[in-house]
Amino acid sequence: MAKKQWKMEIKRNLEKQITLLKFLLTKCSDEEKEVIQMLIESSSDIMRMMEEDEVIEVSPKELEVIILDYFCELGIPKNIKGYQYLKEAVKLGLNDHSILEQITKRLYPDIAREFETTSSRVERAIRHAIELAWQRGNMEICQKIFGYTVSSVSGKPKNSEFIATMVEYILVNDLS
């Protein structure tokens, strides 16, 4: 998918998200309204950035520090393989947004080649890291970053949701 088409699709999804969030504002408590309002503002910021093509250049080292800070806040243990794989996945997503549309066809294989392993091991290790974050991590931070995007069935985001949300969150909060 071309960059322009990808941007249009993201913009449509953000508009739908904002509409849904505005509806939820009418049905929730005051405490929930504050979180929903932050999500609306965040989505609006992403749309504005996409329209302006606004990007701040950061060094690879600075980018890695930003990612690691978030992972630390989320409670992802540094001693597991999924930590390294997730870090690489977010870096790749920030450098090439189209890779987020092909998680199993491009992202996992690219990471597997980098770390000399298989795509299925990469997928499983990332899933495990996310599970640990949701079991042991700071749920306030998880809620702040992921909000309502988390699956109500499993209680945690899918790998692709986690990676895409982290990429968006970093773009809005650290690279704009």
Confidence tier at 2 by pLDDT (50, 70, 90): very low
47-58 pLDDT tens trace: 777 666 554 566
Full-model pTM: 0.67
> Which position has the higher pLDDT, 148 or 10?
10
For 119, the token pair is: 């795509």
Compute the distance between CA of residue 112 and CA of residue 118 in angstroms, rounded to an integer.
Answer: 5
CB burial of 13-30 (b: ≥16 within 10 Å; e: otherwise) equals ebeebbeebeebeeeeee
Q: What confidence score (pLDDT) does residue 145 get?
A: 86
Answer whether residue 176 shows pLDDT above 90.
Answer: no
DSSP secondary structure string for all residues of 16-73: HHHHHHHHHHTTS-HHHHHHHHHHHHHHHHHHHHHHHT------HHHHHHHHHHHHHH
pLDDT, one tens digit per residue, over 9-66 is 677 777 878 888 888 888 888 878 888 888 888 878 777 776 665 545 667 888 889 9
Is the predicted pLDDT of residue 152 greater than 60, yes or no?
no
Residue-wise pLDDT tens digits, 92-131: 998 888 899 999 999 999 999 999 999 999 999 999 999 9
- Per the listing, tokens 């299925």 go with 120
Q: Which residue has the tokens 């630390």?
A: 72
Enumerate residues 6+ apart whose C-beta is below 8 A from 87: 64, 67, 68, 71
Q: Give me the residue label for tokens 């088409």.
A: 5
